[in-house]
Chain A
């Protein structure tokens, strides 16, 4: 078992108590806690370096710009982008996907074209495409998953033909934990001339990401799910694609020249960053990437795989508990969704909260998926670098208490 428990001291929030118990935070798939390194980097930015970026001829503005662009370079290196110009800072994963949908999809899709998604997508990788379909007349089709919660690769050839222009898939399902073979899907998409958009919100935080090896065209991820602040995320895209795209938002910062009736755009990535960007957040994002790199993403992934294996073992001991997701930890990440007898997940969350345990309950922004699963909601425990076996152990007596309260024998 890898031991990363020494990292816990870096996270002030984890020292808190909740409802009179030490906090057990098991909701990192929703958002992660922040290490001191990130908090201090953002604090230092406002105390010493704050100015607007890309404007102002004075030295302070130059410092702020260098910090902002330096963060972009760190994020680019983290995912092995060919250059920092391939990283667009966005408000988060959702806005990164919308940037592709409205910057590429809106201008290239036509009636009869298809967008292929999987049935395990988060609303963030469904609704933007629905909006684009409404404007373009393109239609959505869905790749199902198998009984063991893997995307159905046998069904792929029947769905993926020249009509498909975009393939959108999650690099790790936020509900099932499934990590589909993105590289294989991207290669199949390329063979029919379709672009691949990867929702990496749950992927990039948890395992090494190499966009060169993935073979996809776009990758969307957010800082707050990888120890960074809310309000910022990134879109990685192949530079030639980004340069061919229209901006989804207009305003300052993103232009080359502006007339009364027409304007021309700046080069990527600034074309897609209208208005004053979240500068301190970018600095925090860079610090988060530094922190994760120092731990080592292979180590992060190994730690979570071990913790997930342990959690699946322990949860398997609970009578009446059903896990929704792959049993094989080699094919899944550390988001474990479950139900317990006829106890509704909201009730479970309330009961666990009284023991100081924070889990998510609901449809996790994946309502169509929950309809397929045949349950209105699930409870979800999810793990990150700072979680320990003790956190998993804490679930057991709390789930036993839930069974007692609801009289589940």
Chain B
């Protein structure tokens, strides 16, 4: 496993130019996530339009993997329905071996449906870093708790 597969250009691009950075003035949902062991932090603001995620803003600091994962996630879930975002979350976690299941993944190209996020699959080979990639998603799960209202 080469480091060039871990630190793909697209990851470094999201790390250096994170998308959807900032805060929402009146978020419909919010969550803070941190990894107390390494100090990485993510904050997520969400605005809903019915059952759709209309807007996403992310703040945080940490390693390239956690911050790139957050940036890619923000892009991927913007405009999606809450149900689709949750589905994407399960696909991502399946790709990273965090959760069992295939969630419709192509065995030859796991994560292909995930767009830019596919670039993070190299992280699987560095087990201590998987939690970095997962931090934004765990924080998203928190923010989506109770949405949509049952």
A-to-B contact residues, CB < 8 Å: 342-347, 350-351, 354, 361-363, 367, 370, 376-377, 401, 405-407
Once the chains bind, are A363 and B3 in contact (CB under 8 Å)? no
Once the chains bind, are A344 and B62 in contact (CB under 8 Å)? yes
Residue from B4, B39, B65, B129 in contact with A377 in the complex, judged by beta carbons closer than 8 Å:
B39
Write out, one digit per residue, whether chain B residues 95-130 have a CB within 8 A of any chain A CB (1) or not (0). Answer: 000000000000000000000000000000010110
Residue from A347, A367, A377, A401 in contact with B64 in the complex, judged by beta carbons closer than 8 Å:
A347
Residue from A350, A376, A406 in contact with B61 in the complex, judged by beta carbons closer than 8 Å:
A376
Once the chains bind, are A362 and B126 in contact (CB under 8 Å)? no
Shortest distance between the CB of B114 and any CB in chain A (Å): 22
Whether a CB of chain A sits under 8 angstroms from the CB of B132 is: yes
Mind listing 10 A-B residue pairs with CB under 8 Å? Answer: A342-B16, A344-B64, A345-B63, A346-B40, A347-B7, A347-B63, A376-B39, A376-B40, A376-B61, A406-B7
Write out, one digit per residue, whether chain B residues 21-56 have a CB within 8 A of any chain A CB (1) or not (0). Answer: 000000000000000011111000000000000000
**Given known A342-B16, A344-B62, contact A350–B126 (CB-CB < 8 A):** yes
Chain A residues near B37 (CB-CB < 8 A): 362
Chain A residues near B4 (CB-CB < 8 A): 405
Whether a CB of chain A sits under 8 angstroms from the CB of B141 is: no
Residue from A370, A377, A407 in contact with B12 in the complex, judged by beta carbons closer than 8 Å:
A407
Nearest A residue to B16 by beta-carbon distance? A342
Chain B residues near A343 (CB-CB < 8 A): 64
Once the chains bind, are A354 and B63 in contact (CB under 8 Å)? no
Number of A-B residue pairs with CB-CB distance less than 8 Å in the complex they form: 47
Nearest B residue to A370 by beta-carbon distance? B39
Shortest distance between the CB of A131 and any CB in chain B (Å): 18
Q: What is the CA–CA distance of A342 and B129 in the complex, to the nearest angstrom?
A: 18
B-to-A contact residues, CB < 8 Å: 3-4, 6-7, 12, 16, 37-41, 61-65, 126, 128-129, 132
Q: What is the CA–CA distance of A289 and B7 in the complex, to the nearest angstrom?
A: 44
Most chain B beta carbons < 10 A, residue from A345, A361, A376: A376
Chain A residues near B12 (CB-CB < 8 A): 406-407
Once the chains bind, are B3 and A377 in contact (CB under 8 Å)? no
Once the chains bind, are A347 and B38 in contact (CB under 8 Å)? no
Once the chains bind, are A346 and B7 in contact (CB under 8 Å)? no
Chain B residues near A405 (CB-CB < 8 A): 3-4, 7
Chain B residues near A361 (CB-CB < 8 A): 38
Chain B residues near A362 (CB-CB < 8 A): 37-39
**Given known A376-B61, A376-B62, A406-B12, contact A346–B38 (CB-CB < 8 A):** yes
Chain B residues near A401 (CB-CB < 8 A): 3
Residue from A346, A370, A407 in contact with B63 in the complex, judged by beta carbons closer than 8 Å:
A346
Once the chains bind, are A346 and B16 in contact (CB under 8 Å)? no
Q: What is the CA–CA distance of A351 and B12 in the complex, to the nearest angstrom?
A: 14
| Given A346-B132, A363-B38: 5 more A-B contacts, CB < 8 Å | A344-B63, A346-B62, A363-B39, A405-B3, A406-B12
9 closest A-B pairs (Cβ-Cβ)?
Answer: A346-B63, A344-B63, A363-B39, A405-B7, A362-B38, A376-B61, A347-B64, A347-B63, A376-B39
Q: What is the CA–CA distance of A346 and B6 in the complex, to the nearest angstrom?
A: 13
Once the chains bind, are A347 and B65 in contact (CB under 8 Å)? yes
Q: What is the CA–CA distance of A137 and B7 in the complex, to the nearest angstrom?
A: 50
Nearest A residue to B129 by beta-carbon distance? A350
Q: What is the CA–CA distance of A370 and B38 in the complex, to the nearest angstrom?
A: 12
Chain B residues near A350 (CB-CB < 8 A): 3, 6, 126, 128-129
Shortest distance between the CB of B8 and any CB in chain A (Å): 10
Chain A residues near B39 (CB-CB < 8 A): 362-363, 367, 370, 376-377
Nearest A residue to B6 by beta-carbon distance? A350
Once the chains bind, are A351 and B3 in contact (CB under 8 Å)? yes
Shortest distance between the CB of A320 and any CB in chain B (Å): 14
Chain B residues near A407 (CB-CB < 8 A): 12
Q: What is the CA–CA distance of A342 and B61 in the complex, to the nearest angstrom?
A: 12
Q: What is the CA–CA distance of A341 and B48 in the complex, to the nearest angstrom?
A: 38
Shortest distance between the CB of B128 and any CB in chain A (Å): 8
Q: What is the CA–CA distance of A350 and B66 in the complex, to the nearest angstrom?
A: 14
Once the chains bind, are B38 and A354 in contact (CB under 8 Å)? no
